[in-house]
Amino acid sequence: MIQIDLSSKRALIMGVTNRRSLGWSIAAKLQEAGCQLAFSYQGERLRGELEKLTDGMEGARLYQVDVTNPDELAAMVSDLEGAWGSLDHVVHSIAFAPREAMDGRYIDTTRDDWVTALEVSAYSLVASAQALEGLLTDDASMVTLSYYAAEKVVPKYNVMGVAKSALEASVRYLAYDLGKKGVRINAVSAGPVKTVAARSIPGFMKMYKRVAGMAPLGRGVDQQDVGRLGLFLLSDLASGITGETVYVDAGYHVMGMDLDDV
């Protein structure tokens, strides 16, 4: 029987708000596999929830890191270096776009909103990989979270779709750079899942129901589905996979047309 044993491994999860967060769903699977965990959260307001979630989790480390603040990122890396010395896995589960940029037409996106969305949702992966590179073990692995709007137009997703395209392209370039050392990086492209970030997307529930109705599996996906794929990609079971965007969307993205349309 193949078992994923990560009992000698250490992982950093960046971007957990609560137990519905996709970052948490992967963290929970890593914990089940025996991995030791550290978390970063955006700001003071989120610390209490994370403390509750990690209560009783032996050796868990918590860091406040707003990814637009290089000093907070550097302070975390320096503390991790002192405490752990190395890192086996990184989960990047961070995205943000101002609400107004996702409520109208893409053509009306302001420069500031475009830069903010791309900085927080795509550049943060590059900045994190850059800052953490020295800590990564020779067979380390990273995952980030993407969405179908990187590839196809999803109305209202707008600049976030463009940010996800940049994120997926960054995964490929980072795979090339880090691959020389043996480090892998992949993107998990999840179908709609009910989380705090998802609820801020206009029309999210409509999108959720449509995907579930059209997907080959006849359902949507949940945190368990996403957690399992994250664990797989981070583990040695995916030892030959890097630079890839892997969908976990009950098959929705392979459909070209809804049955109701024909």
Segment interacting with ligand NAD (CB under 6 A) among 26-34, 81-89, 189-197, 252-260: 189-197
Of residues 41, 63, 157, 247, which has the active-site annotation?
A: 157
Residue 192 vs 227, nearer CB to ligand NAD: 192
Residue 6 vs 148, nearer CB to ligand NAD: 148
Of residues 147, 148, 208, 247, which has the active-site annotation?
A: 147
Residue in this structure with the two tokens 């320096």, named with its chain if needed:
78
**Is 161 one of the binding residues for ligand NAD (CB under 6 A)?**
no
Segment interacting with ligand NAD (CB under 6 A) among 78-86, 105-113, 187-195, 228-236: 187-195
**Catalytic residue status for 147:** yes
**Is 185 one of the binding residues for ligand NAD (CB under 6 A)?**
no
Residue 65 vs 178, nearer CB to ligand NAD: 65
Among 196, 205, 217, 255, binds ligand NAD (CB under 6 A): 196
Q: What strand order describes the sheet that includes 87-92?
A: 61-64, 36-41, 10-14, 87-92, 136-146, 184-190, 245-248
Which residues within the stretch 35-64 sit at the binding site for ligand NAD (CB under 6 A)? 42, 46
Least distance to ligand NAD, CB of residue 5, Å: 26
Instruction: Give CA–CA dist 163/114, Å, rounded.
Output: 9
**Is 187 one of the binding residues for ligand NAD (CB under 6 A)?**
no
Among 17, 109, 158, 242, binds ligand NAD (CB under 6 A): 17
Residue 109 vs 195, nearer CB to ligand NAD: 195
Which residues within the stretch 90-149 sit at the binding site for ligand NAD (CB under 6 A)? 93-96, 120, 145-147
**Contact yes or no for 226/26 (Cβ under 8 A):** yes
Residues 6+ apart with CB under 8 A from 27: 11, 13, 16, 37, 39, 91
Instruction: Give CA–CA dist 94/26, Å, rounded.
Output: 13
Residue 183 vs 192, nearer CB to ligand NAD: 192
Least distance to ligand NAD, CB of residue 223, Å: 9
99-to-43, 52, 89, 102, 190 alpha-carbon distances in Å? 19, 29, 31, 5, 21
Instruction: Give CA–CA dist 187/91, Å, rounded.
Output: 10
Q: Which is nearest to 23 in space by CA: 176, 230, 164?
A: 230
**Contact yes or no for 136/114 (Cβ under 8 A):** no
Radius of gyration from C-alpha coordinates of the chain: 18
Q: Which residues are catalytic?
A: 147, 157
- Contact footprint for ligand NAD (CB under 6 A): 15-17, 21-23, 42, 46, 66-68, 93-96, 120, 145-147, 190, 192-193, 195-198
